[in-house]
Amino acid sequence: MSRISQELAAQIAVKLTEKSRIAADKLHVEYRELVTSLYEAQTPGDVKVCFTKYPDWFYTRSNIKLHGHGFNWEYVNPTRPLITNNNTDCILELTAKISDKIISAKRKWQKAKEGYDKLNLETRQALLTLKTFNNIRKELPQAAPMLPPPLSNALVVNFDTLKKQLDKQPDIKKETITS
């Protein structure tokens, strides 16, 4: 009877909870895209036009600073590089309305991520609690295809060839010492 290892349980838990992880990642991208689009909306049109003509004359960054209205110098990675608005930094000017949108999207993503982490841990613990492959196949049939195939109790060694080789050994004759 085979027992499940910590590593195999973790790998199976990741595979079983894949849908939750993808959903949480999608919400994270939506949150980042929201912050990116809000920042781009604050960039003046003339600056955007000038940037398209002379991109080498501008600093671009891949992070946005959020401060005020519930944020304390938090950084968000945008979905694309942005033109800086404060020397070499991208600082989003927050209002209460903008802040509420961002906080709502952030909480939604964090809730989904926490749900995924909890489900992953719970799945891993359940697999480790079941211990054996047979118990896992009975109680969690979703995990059965991810388990290694059952090992056969039959011996892999072919004894016929071994016996033939043993029989074909040369005989060693003892010489007797005669005086």
- Residues 150 and 144: their CA atoms lie apart, in Å, by 11
Determine the distance from the C-alpha atom of residue 160 to the mean position of all C-alpha atoms in its chain, rounded to a whole number.
50
Distances (CA, A) of 174 to 52, 107, 166, 177, 179: 98, 89, 19, 9, 16
Tell me the pLDDT tens digit for each residue of 118-155.
999 999 999 999 999 999 999 999 999 999 887 655 55
User: Mean of the pLDDT values across residues 24-44?
Assistant: 97
DSSP letter at 89 equals B
Among the listed residues 116, 119, 135, 115, the one whose alpha carbon sits nearest the alpha carbon of residue 127: 135
pLDDT value for 96: 96
Using DSSP bridges, classify how beta strands 91-92 and 64-68 pair: parallel, antiparallel or unpaired: parallel
pLDDT value for 165: 81
DSSP alpha helix (H) spans, 54-95: none
> What is the dihedral angle through the alpha carbons of 71, 75, 79, 81, rounded to the nearest 10 degrees?
120
Tell me the pLDDT tens digit for each residue of 71-112.
999 999 999 999 999 989 999 999 999 999 999 999 999 999
Strand partners, 152: none
All residues at 6 or more sequence positions from 113 whose CB lies less than 8 Å from its CB, including other chains = 24, 27, 28
Amino acid at 165: Q
User: Mean of the pLDDT values across residues 2-25?
Assistant: 95
pLDDT value for 170: 80
pLDDT value for 77: 97
Q: Which residue has the tokens 């060694």?
A: 157
pLDDT value for 176: 67
- Residues 143 and 127: their CA atoms lie apart, in Å, by 9
More confident residue, 83 or 2: 83
